[in-house]
Structure 1
Amino acid sequence: MDQGVFPAVRPRRLRSTPAMRRLVAETRIDPAQLVLPLFVRDDIVEPTPLQSMPGVVQHTFDSLKGAVAEAAEVGLGGVMLFGVPADSAKDASGSAATDPDGVLNAATRLVASEVGEALVVQTDLCLDEFTDHGHCGVLAADGSVDNDATLVRYRDMAVEQARAGSALLGLSGMMDGQVAAVRAALDADGFEHVAILAYAAKYASAFYGPFREAVGSTLRGDRKTYQLDPANGREGLREALLDVAEGADVVMVKPALSYLDLVAEVSAAVSVPTWAYQVSGEYAMIEAAAANGWIDRERAILESLTSIRRAGAEAVLTYWAVEVARTLKGL
């Protein structure tokens, strides 16, 4: 037979065995690249499962201790804390967010004392969980979100979270100038060492639905005047560059899977780490499809995380962080 009919190049050689595939893998996931979001609520006596996010709960302070201890045990990079106050504690300005004894600040002190040496303790810096209207900022007289008045609240929140022991503040509100405002407040109060994670390209996404249950959202209306339009990629890159110029130590793209192009573009353009948040809707879709037997759950989880890493995210916030870490370690 004419030898010319056979392929001269055979890429399949590098896929021939599990050992070979492992050796030549271009993208890897390490537990230290994963951050676990955690919800803590102050008016419950036992962990409360979330219907829309199987396997995820709103924690009590006691169960939070166990969750962060497990996160440290499996070698995660960090935890991101979200506080869920009682409805009675919510008001128009989100005053519970700056209460030193409020749920998020109290939880931060607890976690920092328990695992602050082993994990990067991170806190969500946004008002939506704390306001009775559910928006990420304070409202003007016409009902719109007042950007600059909100920055004042963010500055106060930042200082309280830093005092509580947060090592990395997650600025998720998408207010113009929020990074510069928070950086100035932290530095003025002697918290130069506290880092800022800017949710730089955070989109007004349909994939946040289950998260609203997790934080007991009371949102009226939508967030389209401050979160990004899903149609706009260049705008997301612009936001990331602005945040870096204002002093962000890390930038985030959120959601992850529908915005892998943004993860790649931002990662290539900035000089600071780029992270991505695998959000509640992404989690819920895989869990629901797997529960119906339509996909292989474990493979889908690992494939989704690998794609986010492959796009350029150096760390990923994911609700599967502990489970994936155990799988990677063979536990």
Structure 2
Amino acid sequence: MKILGKYPSLRMRRNRKSDWVRRLVSENNLTVNDLILPIFIREGKNKVESIKTMPGIYRHSVDKVNYIVDKASKLNIPLLAIFPQTPNIKKNPLGTEAFNENNLVCQTIRKIKKNNPKIGVMCDVALDPYTDHGHDGLLKNKEILNDETVKILVRQAKLQAEMGCDILAPSDMMDGRIGAIRKMLDKNNFKNVQILSYAAKYASSFYGPFRDAVGSKKKLKGNKKSYQMDYRNSDEALREVALDIKEGADFVMVKPGLPYLDIIKSVKEKFKIPVFAYQVSGEYSMITSAIRNEIFHKDSIIEALMSFKRSGASAIVTYFALNIAKKIENNL
């Protein structure tokens, strides 16, 4: 990059001298259209339960879900992501609660679409909220079975599409599941249902609070390194993304977010496809705890989210979505 001009005729600080000019020349901006709000659902009636490891985040019973959905709708947040805390009594080795049409996710989709039909709904396609071993797939002799799991995931995805889900988001990291789900959708006249592939999902230590939220942490036997990506690898992420695009993904996800900005940038530059970033539970809890203990300033929330936009993310799944949407609405 060739720089034209030199000091003192060129003074870079001139374009930083006032708020109005900083806003005028900003290269990236965060809007409400960039935000995806995750919602945790639990069983019961009239329940709003705090999540200890995620300060300020709650699980809502289905009858209470419209409280938070209405907030999101009024703030014009375009998309919600639904995650269930399945009771242990309903978990088993095969995760069969995933294709119960009255499970928490299905009830929630129906309720949201009845009361807020214009807001988008995204559903997680994976078995970890439903298995008694906490893995995303079927477990046999300490091995996660790929092809057998894909068949189950297709069944789960079909049910979610039938309930009215707008975006199916397979987060399981099984090989071939995007193609199998797209084939099922096309065959069953769900051609307009979109797929957000968790194409570059890394085996990360930043997922801990989320696993608390959905109740899989204490159930998890072993780790997920045999199917989630090795955090030492970057070229592998590009191969994963390329395969999922060929199989029919409409968007791709990079997860976690902040430690993987290089991956977001590489995927966006190479494929020119919408790339979503997931600011995961560990990132949220780390920033929140630092703010509450006066280690970080609260502006660190915006700074972190802006880093996703700067790296090329089209949208961000973030537990800060309501908070940030309010700030944007008030021009703060």
TM-score band, normalised by the shorter chain? over 0.9
One-letter code of the match for 1:82? F
TM-score using structure 1 length: 0.96
Q: What stretches of structure 1 move > 6 A for 4+ residues in a row? A: none
Displacement of 1:6 in angstroms is: 5.2
Distance 1:179 1:115 in 2: 28
One-letter code of the match for 1:21? R
| 8 Å CA contact 1:186, 1:194 repeated in 2 | yes
One-letter code of the match for 1:67? I
Question: SS where residue 139 of structure 2 aligns?
Answer: coil
* 1:81 alignment partner in structure 2: 82
| 2:118 aligned with 1:101 | no
Distance 1:186 1:139 in 2: 26
* 2:177 alignment partner in structure 1: 178
* 1:135 alignment partner in structure 2: 135
Question: SS where residue 143 of structure 2 aligns?
Answer: coil
| 2:301 aligned with 1:290 | no
* 2:273 alignment partner in structure 1: 272
Question: SS where residue 310 of structure 1 aligns?
Answer: helix
* 2:72 alignment partner in structure 1: 71
* 1:211 alignment partner in structure 2: 210
* 2:248 alignment partner in structure 1: 247
* 1:192 alignment partner in structure 2: 191
| 8 Å CA contact 1:74, 1:326 repeated in 2 | yes
Question: SS where residue 53 of structure 1 aligns?
Answer: coil
Matches within 5 A, 1:1-331: 7-43=8-44, 45-117=46-118, 119-140=119-140, 142-217=141-216, 218-297=219-298, 299-330=299-330
One-letter code of the match for 2:308? I
One-letter code of the match for 1:196? I
Displacement of 1:8 in angstroms is: 2.5
Cα gap change, 1:93 to 1:44, in 2 (>3 Å): farther
Distance 2:7 2:111 in 1: 65
Distance 1:43 1:236 in 2: 40
Gap regions ≥5 residues in structure 2: 1-5
TM-score using structure 2 length: 0.95
| 8 Å CA contact 1:199, 1:253 repeated in 2 | yes
Distance 2:99 2:272 in 1: 32
| 1:188-233: CA deviation from partner (whole Å, max 9, x where unpaired) | 1111110000000000000001001110012111000000000001
Displacement of 1:44 in angstroms is: 6.0
Question: SS where residue 80 of structure 2 aligns?
Answer: strand
Distance 2:257 2:116 in 1: 27
Distance 2:262 2:29 in 1: 19
Distance 1:18 1:313 in 2: 25
Question: SS where residue 139 of structure 1 aligns?
Answer: strand
| 1:161-192: CA deviation from partner (whole Å, max 9, x where unpaired) | 00111000011000001100111111111111
| 8 Å CA contact 2:62, 2:104 repeated in 1 | no
Displacement of 1:33 in angstroms is: 1.1
Question: SS where residue 226 of structure 1 aligns?
Answer: coil
Displacement of 1:62 in angstroms is: 2.4
One-letter code of the match for 2:185? L
| 1:141-164: CA deviation from partner (whole Å, max 9, x where unpaired) | x12110000000011011100011
| 8 Å CA contact 2:279, 2:316 repeated in 1 | yes
| 8 Å CA contact 2:45, 2:62 repeated in 1 | no
Distance 1:288 1:50 in 2: 14
Displacement of 1:256 in angstroms is: 0.5
Q: Larger deviation: 277-286 or 78-87?
A: 78-87
One-letter code of the match for 1:174? M
| 8 Å CA contact 1:123, 1:166 repeated in 2 | yes
Distance 1:85 1:180 in 2: 27
Gap regions ≥5 residues in structure 1: none
One-letter code of the match for 2:135? H
Cα gap change, 1:86 to 1:327, in 2 (>3 Å): same
| 8 Å CA contact 1:89, 1:96 repeated in 2 | yes
